[in-house]
Amino acid sequence: MNGLIRIEITNQILNCRNFVHSMRRLALKDDGVIDAGEKKVLRKLARATKKYAKELEKLSKD
């Protein structure tokens, strides 16, 4: 695989992790509490992001 593509895939995997952490911080920053609705959305975001990162990892191993 092209080295530059592999680097960009790795970059996107790191961005996924940062995205989930950033969403949690923003939910807390709003009013200091993560309510039930926000928790639900955060869980869905975390799952979707994890799936995406896992697919990227598979691609980077090719």
Can you give the residue ranges of every domain in the chain? 3-57
* Cα dihedral 34, 39, 44, 46 sign: positive
pLDDT of residue 7: 95
| Residues 42/34, Cβ–Cβ less than 8 Å | yes
pLDDT in the model for residue 10: 95
Rounded CA separation 49/44 (Å): 8
CB 34 within 8 A of CB 46: no
pLDDT, one tens digit for every residue, the chain (62 residues)? 889 999 999 999 999 999 999 999 999 998 999 999 999 999 999 999 999 999 999 999 87
- Is the distance from CB of 53 to CB of 14 less than 8 angstroms? no
**Per-residue pLDDT at 37:** 95
pTM strictly above 0.75: yes
Is there a contact between 50 and 3 (Cβ–Cβ < 8 Å)? Answer: no
